[in-house]
Structure 1
Amino acid sequence: MDLYYPTFGLSNADYRSTVKEFYAFWDNYFSTKTFGYADDINPMDAPNRYVRRLVEK
């Protein structure tokens, strides 16, 4: 599946044709990845402080 991702452009890029398109694309971007797995881990269930700190990251 080929998706089009606009480039930011160079320092002399035209705002309307390049930069505006870049920000419009990424401003409306939604990830298709789910992050439900992150809710399954409770830091207080960790066996020790070291593991708890890792879970909190």
Structure 2
Amino acid sequence: MAVDPVCKMTVEPAKAAAQSSYQGQTYYFCAVGCKQKFDREPERFLAGGKSEM
């Protein structure tokens, strides 16, 4: 299982709505909207920033 870095929801990689690669790591998302937020500001979500739904 993976954790959506935006909303912190648990995501099964095979069933993820979207995925994105950043600095050699693949991240999985519960929804396309979470992926879009991540793609705009990946550092915000990886630096332990506040999650936003």
Greater per-residue strand proportion: 2
Larger Rg over CA atoms = 1
TM-score by length of 2: 0.26
TM-score by length of 1: 0.25
Q: Which has the higher contact order (CA 8 A, sep 6+)?
A: 2
